[in-house]
A and B are shown apart, each in its own frame.
Chain A
Amino acid sequence: MPDIEPGSAAQPRWTKVLDHTRCIGCHACSTACKSENEVPLGVHRTYVKQVDVGVFPHVRRAFQVTRCNQCEQPPCVDACPTAAMHKRPDGIVDFDKSICIGCKACIAACPYDAIFINPDDGNAEKCNFCAHRIDQGLEPACVVVCPTNAILVGDLNDATDPVTRIIHREPVAVRRPEKDTRPKVYYKGAHQATLDPLAARRPEGGLFMWSEQGPVNSSLGGHPQSPNSSAAAILAWDIPHRAPWDARVSLYTWTKSLASGVWLVAAMCLVLGVLASGSTLWRWTVPLLSGVWLAATGGLLIWDLKRPERFWMIFLKPQWKSWLVRGAFIIAGFSAVLGLHLLGSVFDLDALTRVVAWIGIPIAVMTAVYTAFLFAQAKARDLWQSPLLPPLLLVQAVLAGAAGLLPFVSEAEFAVGANVTVATALRWTLAIACAAQLLMTLGEVTLTHSTAHAKLATFEMVKGRYRMFFWAGVILVGFGCFAPIAPVEYGALLGLLAFEHAYVQAGQAVPLA
């Protein structure tokens, strides 16, 4: 270990300055990092974004060395279900590939799009300040290679450190401070057009300098419409960005709505006296149907993992702040409810199923709603930071539940002591849920968005890349309002799926870096 300067704190807190008064955009850091950390092709721990700012002849190319910000409050660490992402005592946000399950929650959480799944091993990784070198007293590889000393590493706990001095004495900036992450990577002399991912215009057709980008499921950098910056700025070079959560996650929200909704609606009917506890519907159809959808939900969740064989680590190495963990336990609790329900049905214990109905309702609600918190934990995605989301998910569960139950309800099945069929009750429930869904969607898309990111996501959902899904969802759910007079339940279910897909994908369609 090298000598530690007298007067410096024993425990360092590592920080970096990216000095863009020196950076020449040569990409040496990018390749040195690749070499040091054996990062495969197509993914990047660090890269240099380039934005052309200005109007000829007063124009320049602005660079941004783009990488993990080593947040003091790292959202990726909160979101990680197994603590594979963790913050070391010296402030470095590091990762442990041996316990990564590849759930991509960290990627969804990172407001800087700095994390990726290594295609070779399926684990999440990112810049970790070359922790293995730091621990040996060596500068990170990018710092060593930089021709112009534009990348500096230092100790924030040491006020005499030259790098700390720059941070304290010179005008420096961090990226997206509004995300409340307290980055320890500081930019000196960087242009606002690079720091703000939405300040530069996206080039026509995704044509970047030397390259054309746009693989499936990628979200290109730059603003496609009206950039944040009133100055002229166009993105010149960027890497392809990928949405971490694909259609499987859209589908999972839908199957989960069905699983929780089917049971929840039936249980509410039971509690409200619309459904008889002795009915075949309650005893068998509901728990089995809900169980099938819940199994599908679990299957999708595991399928979406890049290390599915490590699924069990969610339960055995839980990191309790993670809503993935909390959600997994809620789902497990709901499975237990269904199990008890079936137990009651198998052994003909009517009282048990009645009790289960009462106990299960809050758990079913939690099952339906927890995803709102999971999405909100994806701090990167402003669209999902909506207070409307928990009630929306509840409405969706009711919608899905009513629609999902209807095909299994006999027209002859009458409610207990009422002159109304269960089917009619469900149809009205469906109609009301559809109306509520439409109203909330209307609210979601018409209320003023607090951030440019949320606004752009909404644009992508309503008018942009996902408009087909969105409007299909609106129209089909709209038809769902006519449930009492027409057989629209399948349409409503499909509409809900389309809407979910638009919502989940549009939320991730905003460039973050």
Chain B
Amino acid sequence: MNTDTKSKRLRAYPPKDQWDDWRELDSKSWPERVERRFALVPTGCFNCESACGLLAYIDKETGLIRKFEGNPEHPGSRGRNCAKGPASKNQVDDPERILYPMRRVGARGEGRWQRTTWDEALDEIAARIRKAIQEERRQEIMYHVGRPGEDGYTERVLAAWGIDGHNSHTNICSSGARAGYAFWMGYDRPSPDHANAKVIFLVSAHLESGHYFNPHAQRIIEAKQKGAKVIVLDVRLSNTATHADHWLSPYPGSEPAIHLAIARHLIHEKLYDRNYMRTWWNWSEYLASEHPKEANDFETFERILAELYDACTFEWASSESGIDVDTLREVAQIVASAGNRLSTHNWRSASSGVSHGWQVSRTLFFLNALTGSIGVPGGTYPNAWNKFVAAPIHRPPHPDHWNELSWPQEFPLSFHELSFLLPHLVGEERGKIDTYFTRVYNPVWTNPDGFSWIDMLRDEARIGCHIALTPTWSETAYFADFVLPMGLGNERHDVYSYETHDAQWIGFRQPVMRAYAEREGRKVNDTREVNPGEVWEENEFWIELSWRIDPDGQLGIRQWFESKEKPGTKLTGEEYYAWMFENSVPGLPERAASEGLTPLDFMRRYGAFEVAHKVSCVYAETVGVDEVDDIAEDDFGRIYTRAPSRQRRTSCRCPHRPATPTVAGRSVFASVVTSSAVSRRRRASSSFGRRSSRAGVGKRWPSQAIRVRTSIPTTSSLARSRSFRPSVCRCRSTRAAPTPSGSTRSRTRIRFGSIRAMHKGSRICAPGI
């Protein structure tokens, strides 16, 4: 925390012990001293994915939310917010918001609406879904989400229904950047440890926009105040560019050329972390595959690496990017000065919406791989090491069913659902959608061809029933059959975790009026009782809908929405989260007990919990014997095991990487360059089948997921890898091809994942490489 400049005479937040009954002078009556009494209830902001902590000030006299401030207990946002945090109040008071369930009157898209009841909507939707499931038309049910804002809840619902119905917005968003990262390390998101970095290398704006704006901005400026250098590649003069020591505005799409020129500088000047590369890169595998006639030793690899990138000179990068050679050289020297305290970040921006955009993040992360700044303080972490996803109360198996409308088979390399093609896939009559949910998703507006979406949404033969789950009207909701009002960030339950910095935390979004009522001793059975109008929340909605789909349990769906305490009765949100906080979050029960609270009460009171602080180099941890199960070994000595049954937090605090980590007399390695697809393919084509490789769900419930273990042999001993922690993104890129011929495709994938693809698959490398 950067509190050195803060005056000691004032405090930022009311003391925690007064959150139940905080008295504050009223600003409007000022200078008359009118005291108001507030209950302070935490929740999570829902205006971007950062999900920073908010404290709702509930006026005890009026029973209304007076304002939102930051939640000082939130590890990511640390009590501070961007402009959108306090402005959440505007959404609560928005006179245009939808307060009651609406159903359309007249033709779809005609714009005429009629108020309906939740019962009517639920019954009608449930009947449709039940019929579709009974008639084996499971692929006709689709849930299309923009900003999920939570970890796993809804995907659990879809899995419980036995449908492959998840669709995302990611392919017009971050899939490019994700691909570049995933091909390096299997994890598709970076978690830059800006606060401890010496050099911060940003592609696009991260100080006033982008992921994760507020938490990252805090830490970037913190590092800058300590002397870190900031390099920004952005074609816009952004606020971030303002704080850059070097702001480069290259020709759009030429960013990888700059990255590679820096890489070449590191390689040719031998400024890379040789020990790290020798230990953790899969150079041996690469040499065997690509240069079988060469000696399989690191020195040879170094020579070949230098040859590979020889053409990526500053002059070449300058001609590609329009940035002058001197600037490029200076930037390269700054990168080289970082040691392994180089934090880098690309998310959307240059990697998004362009051909080969994935090479932006891929070549950017190359710099981390060269400098050994991966998973170390001040470097860049794989997201999952800085994220914690708690297991839920019931874990339905992943459905054994494939939706061609989201994952058409002729695009085996698609990194996410091809959701922007949906109107065209439906238009080609590859399938129809019987029941289509949209949530925080407005494709008519955000996708490039909004009118194709309008055409699809208007056509009742293609979309049988469109249900918009939304707090506000949108261009897409306009073409819905049901518009069902869902709560804002302060009117709903969610559990989420984001890789904002080198730690692991969970945040708890909750209906603050409900938490307040319960604090005051009033029992609330349904969030609609406290929300404005008849606004609901998805958590309870899905439970209720699932019960109506399968009222007698015959479809096998209801079991996943039943109470554990009282079997045969409906699961409540209360029990769902109580169980999760009690059983799935290490350290939380103890921490709660220290304050005399149940874990759920603790989360209701503080809204967040830090599971681990300073995760550090997970890859250097030894693999416990208990984690080794069902071992398979490949030609290079990589060992694959079944994932442990429960995700555990990482608490390694090692400040230094062991040069030769050993356990039980054997070296333990992980490789950052090896594609995780290697192992996934193996698993997929062997006993587990494709289901297990569907990362979207599999990753969330580790007991069913396949942990990817990669390692490389050393000259002396068999290496064994530390497990790659499953990525918790909504990525499904690593699924194996669904047909026997898929092995060929998987083979392609391996090539992409290997370092060879860096030159062969890259359009930005100079000809001849």
* A residues apposed to B, CB below 8 Å: 2-5, 8, 12, 17, 19, 21-22, 24-28, 30-32, 34-38, 52, 56-57, 59-63, 94-96, 98, 128, 130-139, 141, 143-150, 152-155, 158, 161-163, 166
Residues of B within 8 A of A155 (CB): 7, 9
- Write the residues of chain B forming the contact surface with A, with a CB cutoff of 8 angstroms: 2-14, 24-28, 30-33, 67-70, 79-87, 89, 207-208, 213-214, 217-218, 221-222, 225, 237-243, 247-249
Determine if A25 and B68 form an interchain contact, defined as CB atoms under 8 angstroms apart.
Answer: no
Give the distance in Å from the alpha carbon of A322 to the alpha carbon of B87 in the complex.
Answer: 39
Q: Tell me, rounded to whole Å, the shortest Cβ–Cβ distance linking B113 to chain A.
A: 28
Q: Which residue of B lies closest to A86 (CB)?
A: B31
In contact, B2 and A149 (Cβ under 8 angstroms)? yes
Q: Pick the contact of A28: B11, B79, B86, B237 (CB < 8 A).
A: B86
Pair B242/A35 contact, Cβ less than 8 Å: no
B81, A138: Cβ atoms closer than 8 Å: no
Known: A148-B217, A149-B2. A28 touches B81 (CB 8 A): yes
* Nearest B residue to A163, CB-CB: B7
Within 8 Å by CB of A131, from B31, B80, B241, lies B31
Q: Would you give the shortest CB distance from A436 to chain B, in whole angstroms?
A: 48
Kindly state the separation between the CA atoms of A30 and B84 in the bound complex, as whole angstroms.
10
Give A51 to B247 CA distance when docked, in angstroms.
Answer: 17
Chain A contact surface mostly: mixed
If A5-B9, A35-B87, A141-B69 are given as contacts, then 11 extra A-B residue pairs at C-beta distance below 8 Å, sorted by A number, are A5-B8, A22-B221, A24-B217, A63-B239, A132-B25, A135-B25, A137-B9, A138-B10, A145-B86, A147-B218, A148-B217
Q: Report 23 cross-chain contacts, Cβ distance below 8 Å, ordered by A residue.
A: A2-B10, A3-B8, A22-B221, A25-B242, A57-B249, A60-B237, A62-B242, A96-B31, A132-B31, A133-B27, A138-B10, A141-B86, A143-B10, A144-B13, A145-B81, A145-B86, A147-B82, A147-B221, A148-B221, A152-B6, A153-B10, A162-B7, A163-B7
B9 lies within 8 A of A31 (CB): no
Within 8 Å by CB of A132, from B9, B27, B239, B240, lies: B27
Closest 7 CB pairs of A and B: A35-B86, A132-B25, A148-B221, A154-B7, A27-B83, A31-B83, A24-B207
* Residue ID in chain A nearest B5 by CB atoms: A162
Do A138 and B9 form a contact, CB below 8 Å, given A24-B239, A31-B87, A147-B217?
Answer: no
Q: Are A131 and B30 in contact (CB under 8 A)?
A: yes
Assembly CA distance A57 to B247 (angstroms): 8
Cα A132 to Cα B7 with chains together (Å): 17
Question: Chain A residues with Cβ under 8 A from B237's Cβ?
Answer: 52, 59-61
* A24-B243, A147-B81 as given contacts; A161 in contact with B7, CB under 8 Å: yes
Given contacts A52-B237, A147-B217, contact A28 B10 (CB under 8 A): no
Q: How far is the CA of A388 from the CA of B31 in the complex (A)?
A: 41
A208 shortest CB reach to chain B, Å = 14
Known: A59-B237, A145-B85. A24 touches B10 (CB 8 A): no
Quick check: B67 and A139 within 8 Å, CB to CB? no
Chain A contacts for B4, CB-based, 8 A: 162
Q: Once the chains bind, are B80 and A2 in contact (CB under 8 Å)? A: no
**Chain B residues with Cβ under 8 A from A2's Cβ?**
8-11
With a cutoff of 8 Å between Cβ atoms, the chain B residues found around residue A94 in the complex are 30-31
A145 touches B70 (CB 8 A): yes
Give the shortest distance, in Å, between B638 (CB) and chain A (any CB): 43
Closest to B25 in A: A132
Q: Out of B2, B69, B89, which one reaches A145, CB within 8 Å?
A: B69
Complexed CA–CA distance, A37 and B30 (Å): 10
Nearest-CB residue, chain B, relative to A164: B7
Q: How far is the CA of A165 from the CA of B742 in the complex (A)?
A: 67
Given A57-B249, A162-B6, A133-B25 contact (CB < 8 Å): yes
A153 — which chain B residues lie within 8 A by C-beta?
A: 7, 10
Residues of A within 8 A of B81 (CB): 28, 32, 145, 147
A35 proximity list for chain B (CB < 8 A): 67-68, 86-87, 89
Specify which chain B residues have a CB less than 8 angstroms from the CB of A63 in the assembled complex. 239, 242
Kindly state the separation between the CA atoms of A52 and B240 in the bound complex, as whole angstroms.
Answer: 13
Please, which residues of chain B bring their CB within 8 A of the CB of A146? 80
Tell me if A37 and B27 are in contact (CB < 8 A): yes
Q: Indicate if the CB atoms of A26 and B26 lie closer than 8 Å.
A: no
